[in-house]
Amino acid sequence: MASRRLRLAPSLLSADFADLAGAIRAAEAGGADAFHLDVMDGHFVPNITFGPALVRAVRARTKLPLDVHLMIERPAKYAEAFAKAGGDTLVFHVEASDSVDEAIRAVRATGAAVGAALRPDSPFDHVAPYVDRLDQVMVMSVYPGFSGQSFLPDVLPKVAEARRTLDAAGSAADISVDGGITTETAGPAAAYGATFFVCGNSVFASGSVADNLKSLRRAVDDGARRAVR
Residue ranges that bind ligand DX5, judged by CB under 6 A = 11, 13-14, 36, 38, 69, 142, 144-149, 178-181, 198-202
Which of Zn ion, ligand DX5, none does residue 179 bind to, with CB < 5 to 8 Å depending on kind?
ligand DX5
Closest CA to 200 of 127, 134, 149, 137: 149
178 binds Zn ion, rule: CB under 5 A: yes
In the complex, minimum distance from the CB of residue 171 to Zn ion, in angstroms, rounded to a whole number: 22
SS3 at position 213: helix
Which of Zn ion, ligand DX5, none does residue 147 bind to, with CB < 5 to 8 Å depending on kind?
ligand DX5
- Amino acid symbol at 150: S
x/- letters, 28..67, toward Zn ion (CB under 5 A): ----------x-----------------------------
Instruction: Answer yes or no: 19 catalytic.
Output: no
Contact in structure between 100 and 123 (CB atoms under 8 Å): no
**Identified catalytic residue from 33, 98, 135, 178:** 178
Contact in structure between 81 and 109 (CB atoms under 8 Å): no
SS3 at position 142: coil
Contact in structure between 174 and 131 (CB atoms under 8 Å): no
In the complex, minimum distance from the CB of residue 174 to ligand DX5, in angstroms, rounded to a whole number: 15
Instruction: Answer yes or no: 178 catalytic.
Output: yes
Task: Choose between 87 and 180: whose C-beta lies nearer to ligand DX5.
Answer: 180
Radius of gyration of the chain (CA): 16
Question: CA 11 → CA 32, 137, 170, distances in Å?
Answer: 10, 17, 29
In the complex, minimum distance from the CB of residue 145 to Zn ion, in angstroms, rounded to a whole number: 10
Task: Choose between 202 and 212: whose C-beta lies nearer to ligand DX5.
Answer: 202
List residues bridging with 70 in a β-sheet. Answer: 39, 92
**Identified catalytic residue from 38, 67, 135, 174:** 38
Closest CA to 175 of 145, 131, 214: 131
Which of ligand DX5, Zn ion, none does residue 142 bind to, with CB < 5 to 8 Å depending on kind?
ligand DX5
Active site residues: 38, 178
